[in-house]
Amino acid sequence: MVEAERRCEQCGQMIPWGEHDCPACGESGRFLWSAPRNTLLLLSFLVLIILFVITSFAVKAYHAQERELAQQWYSAGERQLQAGRAEAALEDFRSALIYSRNNSRVELQLAHALAAAGHLSEARAYLLGLWEREPGNGTVNLELARLAAQSSSVPEAVQYYHDAVYGQWDAHPAQHRRQAGLELAEFLLRVGQKAQAQAELIALTADLPPDPALETQVGTLLLKTGEYDHAAPLFRQALRLHPNYMPALEGGGEASFEMRNYRDARRYLTRAKRLGALSAQSQSRLETATLILESDPLAPRLSGQERTSRALRAFAQSMTRLIGCAAASGVSLENGQQQSDLQKVNALALALKPKVRERSLARDPDLLLKVTDMVFEIEKVTERACGEPQGMDLALLLLSRAQEGRSE
């Protein structure tokens, strides 16, 4: 027998005639298990998203902490390195690498610390690893060049220096390339390759910025290569920017002296001396340049009396040098046999000596030239026999060389 309509005990709704279960409660129950499969999937997906976000935050926090620890160890290593404690810096940089693996910046500083601590092979291994990843990296090539220079591996050092000069730099590339070029030139000078150092320096002069210190640095290196003609303009440019720059004044004085421009040498070095104490070499050059300018019998715009007076003083000085040199060499100038150069030049000087009188020299310009040539010959012969002289004799010897240069 079919039951009549009745009220549902759960929801209070009327159950229709012929139905056993309440339709309203039945739909609600089925919603939890069927309709709801989509809802469960959605809920599961939302849970997964939440877990993913939480995990991402955790991973990011972990990596941030790693980066922070790496930076702390890196900074500690830099402080140790700057303080000259290379061994202590090694441990700090190695710790930084634990928290920041394959970090090129840390590996580079670790290699630097290894080199500073004398572990050259290990430093080179790290640098070569970096070079394989970035063969055009200017910094890496420069460090490899420095290691090769320390090991006196000349071809290898030159190659890495060139790669640094033409390599890639993150910031201020022109400045870094110039610095690498200067280091290369200094290295070549240390190993005695002056011609190659000269070529590198001349190439550097092509694009130097208007910087007195840099121009003077390059000029000073050029002086060491003997390239005075290229060095002198650099000192002049530096002095146009900084007229009282002491190193440029001394450099200009040395370049002028070596180019036998003794007037400019004296001018530069006199200015430098007014500004402060000269180096021993510059002081010597100033004294010699002054003696040359005050002793040259053939200098232009001299009065006849001054020209004669200089020739007489020079002849007397050279004869004193000749006698002293012969005595030091154990050569007798009284011996009638003229076997040595000292004896030969002495015989020539003695034959000329009776004519070396003030009145004769004043009347006869050709005689004055002969006396001057005799002085120069004595100074050259005595230099070969007894070495380079000092003082007035050095001034006369340099005058003889300048005279040869003018006559060539």
Q: Which of 246, 276, 295 is the last residue of a domain?
A: 295
- The pLDDT value given to residue 123: 86
Alpha-carbon distance of 151 to 113, in angstroms, equals: 17
Alpha-carbon distance of 107 to 367, in angstroms, equals: 77
Q: What distance, in Å, lies between the first and last C-alpha atoms of the chain?
A: 147
| Statement: residue 74 has pLDDT above 60 | yes
Tell me if 110 is assigned to some domain. Answer: no
393 and 308 in a common domain: yes
312 and 290 in a common domain: no
Tens digit of each residue's pLDDT (9 = 90 or more) over 167-182? 999 889 999 999 999 9
Q: Which of 295, 324, 358 is the last residue of a domain?
A: 295
Closest CA to 112 of 91, 135, 89, 134: 89
Taking residues 215-235, what's their average pLDDT? Answer: 96
Number of H helices, E strands in the chain: 19, 2
330 and 284 in a common domain: no
Q: Which tokens sit at 289? A: 């340049």
Tell me if 276 is assigned to some domain. Answer: yes
- The pLDDT value given to residue 119: 81
Tell me if 81 is assigned to some domain. Answer: no
Taking residues 129-158, what's their average pLDDT? Answer: 92
Tens digit of each residue's pLDDT (9 = 90 or more) over 374-390? 999 999 999 999 999 99
Contacts 24+ apart (CB under 8 A), 66-73: 66/99, 66/100, 67/99, 67/100, 69/96, 69/99, 70/96, 70/97, 70/99, 70/100, 70/103, 70/106, 71/96, 73/99
Mean pLDDT score of the chain, rounded to an integer? 86
Q: What CATH number has the domain bearing residue 263?
A: 1.25.40.10
403 and 376 in a common domain: yes
3-class secondary structure, 297: coil
Q: Output the pTM of the full model.
A: 0.76
- The pLDDT value given to residue 392: 96
| Statement: residue 17 has pLDDT above 70 | no
Taking residues 339-347, what's their average pLDDT? Answer: 92
Q: Which domain holds residue 338?
A: 304-407
Tens digit of each residue's pLDDT (9 = 90 or more) over 26-45? 544 444 444 456 676 777 77
Tell me if 184 is assigned to some domain. Answer: no
315 and 400 in a common domain: yes
Tens digit of each residue's pLDDT (9 = 90 or more) over 257-285? 999 999 999 999 999 999 999 999 999 99
Tell me if 366 is assigned to some domain. Answer: yes
What's the domain count of the chain?
Answer: 2
Q: Which tokens sit at 240? A: 């146009």
- The pLDDT value given to residue 61: 54
Would you say the C-alpha torsion 288, 293, 299, 300 has a positive or negative sign?
positive
